[in-house]
Structure 1
Amino acid sequence: MNLHQLRYVREAVRQNFNLTAVANALYTSQPGVSKAIIEFEDELGFQIFVRRGKRIIGLTPPGEMVIGSVERVLMEIENLRRIADDFAAQDHGTLVIATTATQARYTLPKVIAQFKEIFPGVRLKLLQGDPGHVAQYVMHGRADLGIATEVLSEQSELVTLPLFQWRHVVLVPREHALASVEHLHFEQVAAQPLITYEHTFSGRPKIDAAFARRGVEPQIVLEAIDSDVIKTYVELGLGIGIIAEMAYDPVRDSNLVALPAGHLFGENVLRMAIRQGSYLRDYAVKFLHLLSPQLTRARIESAMRKGTADDDSYGL
């Protein structure tokens, strides 16, 4: 058996057993993929894929066991390369970060600017998507780090650690009747048309849960994945907005007033995620430390050994 066969087998599972998609993803031919998989099964002495005619449609019971070993072998090979790269060129390479639009726009810019001053030779790549896609990017090895609020801690293939807590704010135009309210009440928010995040983004589940607990149906008139879009329509008077507090800048958003809403919708936790068993290069650890000073290599490696975070302290 060889590494090409292992990569084809792993990619077949990732591509939902579509061998044409496997060939496209790995820049090879579909017949070549099929041949390599058959040769791999012949060497093992049993079939790892269920077939319907010439198509593979799933994993056999022994195949379920094999794919776990294939993932571990390929991950360790990737780790060896990263370790070698660390010693050969400690300040050069590529760091791929998967995150949501809100974090890419509001949380990461200052950290990235600091990071580039320290590591000018490291190329950064941001993959943006909803929290579910962020988790998939990391689990499939397309990203070194995942940064998001939702979903990450629910994935057993990932090790996650808290970065910091954040809250929502209610956003209103300066001339709005709520603009001068000192302590916002839930009934005041519920009586208004609302503009907020699409249901998988930026703490939206906490917003929905707050309404559900009170048996109230929110008057949501517009949903978006981007905080700037929400602010635009609040300025137009379409409704009041509920956004992440880090997305409001009193200077840039001078036409709007942000009212604290943590007491209404609760606390949210921004988390980072890495794959179980993966190796983080030194500059990746430094990036996390810049983002949240309590994240040291010792703490990250401790979480990796345990397969989870040590605790939920945030170092704030």
Structure 2
Amino acid sequence: MDHRLLLYFTTLVDKGTFTQAAKALHISQPSLSSAIKKLEDNMGLSLFERSTRKISLTREGEILYKESNKLLNHFEHVQKEMTRLKNEGPLELKIGTIESVKFWLPKVIVTYRESNPEVHIKLLEVLGLRQVETALQNYKIHLAITNQHFENDEILTVPIYKENLVALFPKGHRLQHIQAISINDLEEEEFIICKEGFQTRQDILNAFRKTGINPNIHFEIERFETACSLVEEGLGITIVPENYIKSINHSAFSYKRITNANLSRTVYIACLKNRYLPPVIEQFINITNDFFEKSIYND
């Protein structure tokens, strides 16, 4: 498939007229018309509705437009990556992260830097499902460390560890000294939970649903840090990853596992299936996997 023809096709759709598209492409209108006809002839399909004066795609044209954008985006990325590798070498690693990586990611980076001291590492916080998908598909990050469950055939997820979710209370809370707590004990509590689009929210709500009760939600947040601050001020309780609590000063809180719910989450490395990843990035993935195969954190 001719990359140039796909570029002409998507530009015509984006600009809406042959005049504007030809101007953007720095070619003549007859040349653009000829290119579009050649693309349709090559495919044996009509890509545009001829019954209207404005640019309107057929169903086949809509599919090609969507897939062409992906191909062109990938082509541009690979082209830039090859140029950068030629001029600079593999010097950059961009990782999307969730909050709880603070308890282990620095340890992995120390090991990684021993063999790759020249690599510039960018850590970008990407939390919700759509954020992660967009960052991966738009090449903003090479990979994501996430607990999101994807229903997207373009994204590969590799599980690296499981972590328990625990109930978090302010000091002096009535449940602080109860040896074993259940979901039912939390029914009347003012509850703090992640907003829509976060996998942890779905995991927690599913656990409540299985017991036939609804949490008394008072606050919806994005970051566990915010939830902890609200708990510290006595504004409610929350459920967070146990490893996250272990990685911060929790003198203002107490936390307990919940006995009648299998509350845990899986953390993955996620990346695009068909994206070229330089060897230094594959090495980071391997070092991370090795860390958790040997790690006490992997329960």
1:47 Cα deviation from its structure 2 partner: 5.2
Unaligned runs of 5+ in 1: 21-28, 297-313
- SS of structure 2 residue aligned to 1:165: strand
What is the CA deviation profile of residues 220-279 of structure 1, one whole-angstrom value per residue up to 9, with x for unaligned ones? Answer: 111111111000010111111111222213761211112123752533111222222222
1:191 CA drift (Å): 2.7
Distance (Å, rounded) in 2 between the aligned partners of 1:116 and 1:186: 43
Q: 1:233 aligns with which of 230, 233, 237?
A: 230
Match of 2:37 in 1: 42
User: Residues 129 and 227 from structure 1, CA distance in 2 versus in 1: closer, same or farther, beyond 3 angstroms?
Assistant: closer
Moved more, 81-90 or 163-172: 81-90
Following TM superposition, by how much is the alpha carbon of 1:202 offset from its aligned partner in structure 2, in angstroms? 4.8
Counterpart among 255, 264, 268 of residue 265 in structure 2: 268
Deviations 1:114-158 (A, max 9, x none): 434542322223252412220222133332212221233x11111
Looking at structure 2, the residues matched to 180 and 30 of structure 1 have their Cα atoms a distance apart, in angstroms, of 73
Instruction: Give me the whole-angstrom Cα distance separating, in 1, the residues matched to 2:110 and 2:194.
Output: 27
Alignment of 1:89-128 (within 5 A): 92-100=90-98, 102-103=99-100, 105=102, 108-125=105-122, 126=124, 128=126
Residue 63 of structure 2 is matched in structure 1 by 64
Q: How many residues align?
A: 284
- Please, what is the CA RMSD of the aligned residues? 4.0
Partner of 1:311: none
Distance in 2 of aligned mates of 1:263 and 1:7: 56
Q: What is aligned with 2:133?
A: 135
1:197 corresponds to 2:194: yes
Change (3 A) 1:244 1:294: closer
Which residue does 1:150 correspond to in 2?
A: 148
Query: TM-score, normalized by length of structure 1?
Result: 0.72
Alignment check: 8 A CA contact 2:155 2:270 kept = yes
- Do the aligned partners of 1:103 and 1:148 also contact (CA within 8 Å) in 2? no
Structure 2 residue runs of 5 or longer lacking an equivalent are none
Amino acid at match of 1:44: L
Name the TM-score, length of structure 2 as normaliser. Answer: 0.75
Are positions 1:218 and 2:215 aligned together?
yes
- How far apart, CA to CA, are the structure 1 residues paired with 2:288 and 2:94? 15
Q: Is the 8 A contact 1:132 1:151 kept in 2?
A: no
Distance 2:149 2:200 in 1: 11
Distance in 1 separating the partners of 2:149 and 2:22: 34
Quickly say closer, same or farther: Cα 1:164–1:39, change in 2 above 3 A: farther
If you compute each CA radius of gyration, which structure gives the higher value, 1 or 2?
A: 2
Change (3 A) 1:3 1:65: closer
Contact map agreement 1:115 1:287 (CA 8 A) in 2: yes
The alpha-carbon distance between structure 1 residues 103 and 84, as it changes in their structure 2 partners (threshold 3 A), is: farther
Q: Cα–Cα, structure 1 residues 221 and 73, in superposed 2: closer, same or farther, change >3 Å?
A: closer
Q: 1:196 corresponds to which letter in structure 2?
A: I
State yes or no: 1:278 paired with 2:284.
no
Q: Which residue of 2 aligns with 1:300?
A: none
CA distance in 2, matches of 1:194, 1:174: 16
Alignment partners' CA distance in 2, 1:5 and 1:104:
44
Instruction: Report percent identity of matched pairs.
Output: 20
Q: Does 1:207 align with 2:199?
A: no
8 Å Cα contact 1:172-1:256 kept in structure 2 = yes
User: 1:180 and 1:39, CA in 2 relative to 1: closer, same or farther beyond 3 A?
Assistant: farther
